[in-house]
Homo-oligomer: A and B are copies of this chain.
């Protein structure tokens, strides 16, 4: 069917060994021979069979990634950055989604391992029920947890320093004059939700007034709506600053406040977390904690690369400090 290295070798008048050497790097081959091989390959329109190469060399030049979903812009951007980083190193990216189901996630990981990816990047969809599969994978190939991580740590991880991010949001709100705060976030079912909540509780003392209103639901727009309605029940006690666990919640909150004629940022200031693309399109544009996605992806791939380079490195845990992006939903 397709032309093999054997035919290239024949046409160039050398052995397959020499042809192989010439085609991959060309070290230890006389320039004249190298040229003849390359020309023969070109003339025959030779297309190397990466599968065969992978079998023999025991490396597929590919990395697998499993994320909860791609339609979430946050993960999409992350995947894009990882893809670019991988492509730069000549590696392919095998993408899977877990749909927030640990069983599916385990199956996807297994499938990726069967396909012999050189390394794995995973966003564990559950801080406990993802453990078995991810640790098993870590036994077989370099594996790094991205963004979320397993409870209790264990294995490499690259993510953002959520506590620091929330802290900067709280500092900003207090600095801008907010005397009372509330937190609207998600139940701590994953490590980010947990860390953000911890961050809020840790930063609360900075605010002299009240900070005791903590509403926990999930990371959805609807929860933002509901939480805002709850805060609006007693108009007088409406906090002057609302720290949200992510941008989606914050957009929900903003919307509900607008519907009820509450002035943002005049009466209430709102902050989000992530800096999804719509954050700056909101009305008013949302002040938020930006996730340094490019950096996260680059760091994740770098972590894997050093592990692939043969170093039996100890596990790394990298927390990158995020940056506060101030927009119209808070006063400067």
Q: Which residue of the partner chain B has the closest CB to A110? A: B47
Residue numbers in B under 8 Å from A258 (CB-CB)? 283
State how many angstroms separate the Cβ of A71 from the closest Cβ of chain B: 5
In the complex, whether A50 has a CB less than 8 A from a CB of chain B is: yes
Contact digits for A34-59, partner B, Cβ 8 Å, 1 yes 0 no: 00000000000001111110110000
**A55 CA to B48 CA, complexed, in Å:** 13
State how many angstroms separate the Cβ of A294 from the closest Cβ of chain B: 11
Residue numbers in B under 8 Å from A2 (CB-CB)? 140
Complex contact B92–A94 (CB within 8 A): yes
In the complex, whether A97 has a CB less than 8 A from a CB of chain B is: yes
Chain A contacts with B in 269-290, Cβ cutoff 8 A: 277-278, 281-283
With A52-B55, A70-B70, A76-B71 known as contacts, the answer to whether A115 contacts B96 (CB < 8 A) is: no
Complex contact A80–B87 (CB within 8 A): no
With A281-B221, A281-B255 known as contacts, the answer to whether A79 contacts B70 (CB < 8 A) is: yes
Complex contact B114–A48 (CB within 8 A): yes
Complex contact A71–B80 (CB within 8 A): yes
- Interface contacts beyond A49-B55, A50-B114: sample of 16 additional A-B pairs, CB < 8 Å, sorted by A: A49-B114, A49-B116, A50-B116, A51-B115, A51-B116, A52-B55, A70-B70, A70-B77, A70-B80, A71-B76, A71-B277, A73-B73, A83-B97, A84-B97, A92-B94, A278-B278
Can you give 26 A-B contacts (C-beta < 8 A)?
Answer: A49-B55, A50-B116, A51-B54, A51-B60, A62-B94, A70-B77, A70-B79, A70-B80, A70-B83, A71-B77, A73-B73, A73-B277, A79-B95, A83-B95, A83-B96, A83-B97, A87-B97, A92-B94, A92-B96, A92-B112, A93-B95, A94-B95, A251-B281, A255-B281, A277-B278, A278-B278
In the complex, whether A69 has a CB less than 8 A from a CB of chain B is: yes
Residue numbers in B under 8 Å from A62 (CB-CB)? 94, 115
Q: Which residue of the partner chain B has the closest CB to A251? A: B281
In the complex, whether A319 has a CB less than 8 A from a CB of chain B is: no
Q: Which residue of the partner chain B has the closest CB to A87? A: B96
Residue numbers in B under 8 Å from A277 (CB-CB)? 71, 73, 278
Chain A contacts with B in 103-162, Cβ cutoff 8 A: 108, 110-116, 140
Residue numbers in B under 8 Å from A51 (CB-CB)? 51, 54-55, 60, 115-116
State how many angstroms separate the Cβ of A216 from the closest Cβ of chain B: 23
